[in-house]
Amino acid sequence: MRMSEDADSLYDDDDAGELDEEFPLGDGTADSEATVSCPYCGEAVEIALDPGGGTHQDYVEDCEVCCQPWRVSVQYGLDGEAAVEVTALGE
Ligand SMILES: [Zn+2]
């Protein structure tokens, strides 16, 4: 049974020059974590980001303090800096 193409790309790190041209976030300079304020309880919570997931990501994550569901929107700039926005799910 073959590994999926996604799994293959995880082992491509030694070919970073090639990766740079397509997606500069893959070289380890992109933000891999961010601190956000929970829209429900207001706590500052540090969340892990996945730079390899694309320049723009939208997903749902639960607050680790109050367990309410967030909608997390991540937008990476060309410099690898992540702009993270967290809103209450369903609003
Ligand atoms: Zn919360």
Report the number of distinct structural domains present in the chain.
1
pLDDT for 14: 52
pLDDT for 83: 96
Global pTM value: 0.69
Six-digit token string for 64: 């680790």
Six-digit token string for 43: 């706590």
Q: How many alpha carbons lie under 13 Å from residue 84 in its C-beta half-sphere?
A: 27
What whole-number distance in Å separates Cα of residue 51 and Cα of residue 30? 6
In three-state secondary structure terms, 10 is helix
Q: Which of the residues in the chain have pLDDT under 50? A: 7, 15-21
pLDDT for 18: 45
pLDDT for 39: 97
pLDDT for 29: 83
pLDDT for 4: 53
In three-state secondary structure terms, 34 is strand
What distance in angstroms lies between residue 44's CA and the mean position of ligand 1's atoms?
A: 8
pLDDT for 5: 55
φ, ψ of residue 89 to 5 degrees: the values are -65, 135
Name residue 74's beta-bridge partners: 57, 84
Six-digit token string for 11: 């082992």
What distance in angstroms lies between residue 20's CA and the mean position of ligand 1's atoms?
A: 36
Range of the domain at 61: 5-88
What distance in angstroms lies between residue 64's CA and the mean position of ligand 1's atoms?
A: 7
